Amino acid sequence: MRDVAIVGTGQTKHARRRTDVSQAGLVREAVDAALEDACLTFADIDSVVVASGPALFGAVNQPEKWLVDALGGHMKPVVRITSGGGTGLAGALAAMNQVSSGFVERVLVVAYDKLSEGALQYQISTLYDPFWGREFAVGIMGFAAAYWRARIDALGHTEEAAALVSVKNHRNAMRNPYAHVKKEVTVEDVLASRPLAWPIKLLDVPPISDGACAVILASEDAVPSITSTPAWIRGMAYYGEADNAANRFMLQSVPLQLAAQRVYKRAGIVNPRRQFDVAELQEPYTNFELSYYEGLGLCRSGEAADLIASGATEMEGDIPCNPSGGCMGANPIGATALIRLAEAALQVTDKAGERQVPGARTALVQAGGGWANLRGVAVVGADRN
């Protein structure tokens, strides 16, 4: 197995709606930025992996076949991975395997969604079985709210604790030039915000965004000629869980734990709270971040509310979570997980600007989608395993 590193990243100017670019123009903007970051051109790219949300989001089936022209993919391997909200990381994982197996040397991964094009909640509701529950579905928000309500009772993930996540991520987004929601909020604002799917309220919810992210992966053999500051992918995994399996445990995500176990083992992580300098988590709802703290081993089960209240996950804390602002700053769903990976790469290469966690060398990345049943984890480091 060859080691693989991130040698370039790029993001679009994310926005509630971009009317100046088509879906193809949107991805191109991120790709141009990533190529420039890596000082590479299309000629250097061996293969392209596209990741995006369901085809219904953009009304284009297999959209990579349209985007190929904008991606410089003519006569190259081009494939699309679509694995729910975490698909950006699933795409990066597919690309990583292409490189580590020796199939290619340099892969362009590009993830995007242009959510302003359509009617998002109903589009997401089509995840549900047409026979069994689709008529009652509220995107994934009704589901997410329901199990948060259950965790309030079982694990003490209170509305106040979740509000602290919102306050933190909104505040962090102020320092992220790519974030399009730039608004500081208070705990009181969050608690008083309009209920959408109680206990989820407006300020527990990320924006709906147009945006794209591109990441260039290179083999250990190709890295030295590209950059002296690669971000090494020290482990990455993406696990699934049958949604309506018997007695499915809903208070914590088992596939998240499985992915973390596998990746931590490979990267030699035994004490995540101490060994990680920073984490980028795909919330997207505030209460998810609380649950991830526990699932990723940043604290014990039932201690997430204490962890956020302690300030440990703030920029100044010992394990800053989402210095980018996470999904609260921008949430172009299909791109969101790749944005987390790109942000982690910026952190460990000291390129994160105003949102830099000083001295960060090892970063945790988490991604997910579906009904909390598709979950991915990655470890990115300034050093190799």
Tell me which residues in 121-140 interact with other proteins (CB under 8 A). Answer: 121-133, 135-139
> C-beta of 21: minimal distance to other proteins in Å?
6
**Residues of span 71-110 touching other proteins by CB under 8 A:** 71-84, 90, 93-94, 96-98, 100-104
**Least distance between other proteins and beta carbon 166 (Å):** 17
* Element spanning 46, H or E: none
**Binding-site member from 70, 212, 215, 290 for other proteins (CB under 8 A):** 70
As given in the structure block, the two tokens for residue 73 are 């993919």
Chosen residue from 252, 258, 303, 361 binding other proteins by CB under 8 A: 258
Per-residue burial over 338-347, b if 16 or more Cβ lie within 10 Å, else e, is bbbbbbbbbb
The region of 60-68, 157-165, 177-185, 316-324 touching other proteins under the rule CB under 8 A is 60-68
Helix (H) or strand (E) holding 8: strand 4-11
What's the CA gap between 212 and 113, in Å, rounded? 7
Given a contact cutoff of 8 angstroms between Cβ atoms, the answer to whether 226 and 22 are in contact is no
295-334 positions binding other proteins, by CB under 8 A: none
Q: Is 51 helix (H, G, I), strand (E, B) or coil?
A: strand
Question: Per CB under 8 A, does 60 bind other proteins?
Answer: yes
Partners of 6 in beta bridges? 217, 231
x/- mask, other proteins, residues 188-207, rule CB under 8 A, reads: ------xxxxxxx-------
Q: Which of 97, 15, 95 is nearest to 51 (CA)?
A: 95
The helix/strand/coil state of 234 is strand
Q: Is 55 in the site for other proteins (CB under 8 A)?
A: yes
Q: How many residues bind other proteins (CB under 8 A)?
A: 115
**Residue 121 CB, nearest approach to other proteins (Å):** 4
Instruction: Tell me how far apart the alpha carbons of residues 84 and 68 are, in angstroms, rounded to a whole number.
Output: 21
Which CB, 42 or 318, lies closer to other proteins?
42
Place of tokens 């991604």: 367
| 86/326 with CB nearer other proteins | 86
* Closest to other proteins by CB, 295 or 323: 295
- Exposure string over 55-72, b if 16+ CB within 10 A, otherwise e: ebbbebeebbeebbebbb
**DSSP H or E stretch at residue 330:** none
Least distance in angstroms from the C-beta of 291 to other proteins: 13
- Residue 229 interacts with other proteins (CB under 8 A)? no
Tokens of 146: 């329901």
Can residue 150 be called a binding residue for other proteins (CB under 8 A)?
yes
Pairing outcome for strands 106-114 and 231-240: unpaired
Span near other proteins by CB under 8 A; candidates 21-29, 158-166, 270-278, 318-326: 21-29
**For residues 152 and 251, is the Cβ–Cβ distance under 8 A?**
no
Distance CA 361, CA 347 (A): 7
Measured from the CB atom, the residue of 296 and 321 that comes closer to other proteins is 296
Selected range binding other proteins among 8-16, 20-28, 321-329, 347-355, rule: CB under 8 A: 20-28
* Rounded Cα gap, residues 183 and 226, in angstroms: 38
Residues 22-51 that bind other proteins (CB under 8 A): 22-25, 28, 42
Which residue, 199 or 272, is less far from other proteins as judged by CB? 199
Rounded CA gap, 285 and 136, in Å? 20
- CB nearer to other proteins: give 121 or 275: 121
**252 forms part of the interface with other proteins (CB under 8 A):** no
The DSSP letter of residue 329 is: T
Of 10 and 320, which has the nearer Cβ to other proteins? 10
Segment interacting with other proteins (CB under 8 A) among 156-164, 297-305, 342-350, 366-374:
366-374
